[in-house]
Structure 1
């Protein structure tokens, strides 16, 4: 039995990056031997075990053969005869197909170290084209390592395009797709993920609503970058620069989908794009089974982001309706994330990335004022039930009018 550290742990050590997750491959062992040593089996598809003390994953060396569509369409074979090189060749990229023993002696049959030094993301073998999930994975790695100057090898991009055209992407489950998308959005340059998907033709398959934004103009006076797709990429880039959470980044990606529905004869204006986009946002949310908090924020930002930009001009009654829509009294964090998404939208414009966004503090102040209206005095006056709700609304409106007048001075 031989044990090797593999994949990301080896790659990140060679890059000088912190190693967080460690995976191991065991060569020359059987399931019975692993169980006898106290390893705990996990997973039904192939032999993976948890170390009895560290809890880290140890997988028996295995080969795989395409047997169906999608990410799960593979038959695996694990036995003591499978070599380390045979196990490594089934991996996606050369930089992920390296192994090392406990003395850090490197096994690198597919020249991953050379590609690390050359800053190239390159597939290991033609079998890359058998797994559609790898399109998303490579795009995610491109987003992760863009800052280090990595690019995708032309021949690998060609295979990604081939996969995008094959119909295999449609076989991906929502859960697997979302796992890759959510991880990619949390990278330092998530816009690169979208750019790569678009370049290889995967974006029009996975997110045609986002793909439709490219080539759609906006009024140059408000959007010097003009193109709606480029704007979306810039907003996503700003969300990463400002370390926003996944909910905000997802909302930033989807906030302008309605602009893709505007008839060409109406360009560059996009009247009511906020409401038109809601059905598209719902469709994308459902397609990837996004978490509930991501779904809710994306819809709210899509519907109300222009309200955020016009906050200083809104009537007190409209401002109150906005606050009510977000339930700022019980869910203040969601409104804070809405403000963040609006600010990212405002900054995601060419040459305006550093412009201040006074609407943010104004909206926070309005929420504080509305939350500050006390219920007890109304109860003491005898209000209850629906009448109490109406009285509370009147008091909040009065407070917001005072706040608006004071802010204008």
Structure 2
């Protein structure tokens, strides 16, 4: 038994959690009970390993402890059902029985299957995210609830309903076949993308960034890339995450205030993440076919490789956004396209593209549309209209750091109704981050 420091033990348990859960579900079925048993095994390990040392076979240790606990839970469930006369006994369905050949499946495949299971199409996107973070990510219900600013009881019910729905669906613990696998892979990647985005730029609350969420999304996407190295969109998504995450150290100032990309100290960007991300997106584009995540990663690579904001290749970024716009029906893509067009061809070009979004109910009342309009109006010199748009954007966001940023942007612009010695300058102008 080798000693295991607390942080290293936590990292090990988090990486092993989906493998253990996958092994139990493959062998016994009963996803909800298996998840409970794994959590109790992880708790036992977190208590014992720092004191006694990490066992030589940590995965086997966890599987053994979790299996024993699952047996207890199954017996208790059987007894309860007998008392209720619902069934005579609870026996694992045939589809869950694990033949010897299945037990030989590599551990990593269980993690992949688990991700597909958590993103089952019968679940809502919110439930897919919660279940992925709980079962595949190893986050506690309390951690997930804090991340999405809901009461722990609410998140507990959401996850419980998701697990029950997976159980009732009767899907076997196996990779979905052919065409279904391709469709479900898209759902898995979308969930990982949403988790990363919430960590990269929180939609609400006092914190602008939630590093635990973006880090978990990157970890799980690395697992996907290791298991599916030939999938160009998996590679593109990992590249996109790394290239955006590289800028994290420069995105906020000493007091947590937002710093636009144009003003960021690029020496603070993580050069290793940039190098890895550029290599990944280059590989993905070479192997194709080209998809939305690869195009977004290519755009991020152009930002990250530019030595300064002035040296950014805006014409090429605009061209890539034009391709992405034709490929996806996503108003945020059009919003970013407008920013790029304004930087490449002038603010009027960007405002023309924004006009296409005025009637789009998906984004018409979103703070990002008003923030981009404000930025482009400021570029034209229409400070009065820009000020109103910044204030409108601030009213619509639920993120406190964004509210402060947008109000500061409004305050720095001349107000014809204010006295001559009105508010002093706020943040300098810069390209908004519409994420």
Whether TM-score is above 0.5 comes out as no
Higher relative contact order (CA 8 A, sep 6+): 2
| TM-score where L is the length of structure 2 | 0.33
Task: Write 1 or 2 for the structure with the bigger share of strand.
Answer: 1
Q: Which structure shows the higher helix fraction? A: 2
Larger Rg: 1
- When normalised by structure 1's length, the TM-score is 0.35
